[in-house]
Amino acid sequence: MVDAKSGVSGAGRGAAPEYHYPECAEDLRAYKVAAHRHTPEMEQEASALAGAPARVSFTPHLVPLRRGILATLHLRLRRAAETEELLALYRRRYGGEPFIRVLDDPAAVHTKAVAGSNACHLSLRVDGRLGRVVVVAAIDNLVKGAAGQAVQNLNLMAGLPEAAGLTGAGLWP
């Protein structure tokens, strides 16, 4: 299950008034529930990682921010695990990635820390009581979610350093 909070720029460029900042200020709403266009992509990549078909329940929420996405994933564990064990696994997996930072505490993952950058911050906690892991990730949807991702992919396709043109300072602090 994925629950994502998106700033208004993540809801698209359509002229729907409910997605414009003045209309959504002081408001919070779910949108495209059980019908979001990115669900098939998530299922494709989750299936590739799992090595078996994976189904994703995705619910985006519009929050009164200009930019940024904070996603919380609730995943069933196949076996008992500890938080430190999974953090170490994530650090091994993403250690060589120039834009992914695995943080110790999920509370340290927030949209302002990645604003204006191509970074993805993530962390997790195991909920042993439920046999689940809760993963929290933050990106700036206008950079990592769109333009930065395109530049990063172009760099890889053109044989350039992956981080070329993407290492400038973000907007915070």
Which domains are seen in the chain, by residue range?
Answer: 2-157 (3.30.360.10)
Tell me the average pLDDT across 138-148: 88
- DSSP SS3 for 102: strand
Residue 59 makes CB contacts below 8 A (sequence gap 6+) with: 1, 2, 3, 4, 30, 33, 34
Give the Cα-Cα-Cα angle 65, 30, 124 (nearest 5 degrees): 70
Quick one: tokens of 128? Answer: 């042993």
103 vs 117: CA distance, rounded Å: 17
Give the Cα-Cα-Cα angle 52, 54, 55 (nearest 5 degrees): 160
pLDDT, tens digit, for every residue of 47-82?
998 899 999 999 999 998 888 999 999 999 999 999
Q: In sequence order, what DSSP letters do the residues of 107-157 get, joined into one string?
A: GG--GGGTTTSS-EEEEEEEETTTTEEEEEEEE-TTIIIIIHHHHHHHHHH
Residue 21: predicted pLDDT: 65
142 vs 148: CA distance, rounded Å: 8
Residue 156: predicted pLDDT: 95
Q: How confident is the model at residue 27 (pLDDT cuts 50, 70, 90)?
A: confident
pLDDT, tens digit, for every residue of 80-109?
999 999 999 999 999 999 999 999 999 999
